Amino acid sequence: MIVRTIATLTIGAFLTSAPAMPRMTIARLQYDGGGDWYANPSSLPNLLRAINERTTLRVEPTEARVTLMDDRLWDFPFVHLTGHGVVKFSDEEVGRLREYLLRGGFLHADDNYGLDESFRKEMARVFPDRPLVDVPLSHPIYHIVYDFPKGVPKIHEHDGKPARGFGIFIGDRLAVYYTYEADLGNGWEDQGTYTDPPELHEAALRMGINLFTYAVTSRPAS
């Protein structure tokens, strides 16, 4: 199977270059500010199941939950942030997130509607010299396992705006990937939770597999 072959090659390269294996699951980020960081409760378990079933990556079946000040933060190659409301970081958390990303961590933020303004404000504090930019359609995150020639798929409709994939790069590595007007998390939820058709649920899972695969295979050796 092509998907399994690609995943085998990419994770094989990671294993040979990295001296220590990070904990293979997705960590949901708990933050202050009043936003519902716990939104889409079935999303990450479903994505982890798809990663296990469709690739050779062996991941834990349950998500982790961390704050930026949690000592376990460094164990996870992939941190996921979502919600509808306000996200707010303390000065200490800003420094901690910057360090996590500079040390090879990957943050995926998924605007579940209403998160955009506060997330952009906080990321400007984390990296005042590294703006969020459109991730080029040629980037591996759109092709590493499944092919998305048009970029991030739009899963759930809100304002009629196109889905956008923004990023912050550290050198050539994409360290932050921000999905706006896409609602990947809704697509990862149990089918029937929303009225989105099954093909969009499938597209969301495929994009999520790309995100995780890229996160673990682009993580630099420490």
Q: CA 74 to CA 68: how far, in whole Å?
A: 10
Structure tokens at 174: 């994409």
Structure confidence by residue, pLDDT tens digits, 86-118:
999 999 999 999 999 999 999 999 998 889 999
Fold entry, domain 2-218: Rossmann fold (3.40.50)
Structure tokens at 44: 């990450």
- Would you kindly state where each structural domain of the chain is located, as residue ranges? 2-218
Q: Please say if the pLDDT value at position 215 is more than 90.
A: yes
Which pLDDT does position 12 carry in this prediction? 42
State the pTM of this model. Answer: 0.89
Q: CA 215 to CA 209: how far, in whole Å?
A: 10
Structure confidence by residue, pLDDT tens digits, 188-204:
999 888 778 899 999 99
Helix (H) or strand (E) holding 16: helix 2-17
Which pLDDT does position 21 carry in this prediction? 54
Q: CA 19 to CA 168: how far, in whole Å?
A: 25
Mean pLDDT over 51-73 rounds to 96
Which pLDDT does position 74 carry in this prediction? 95
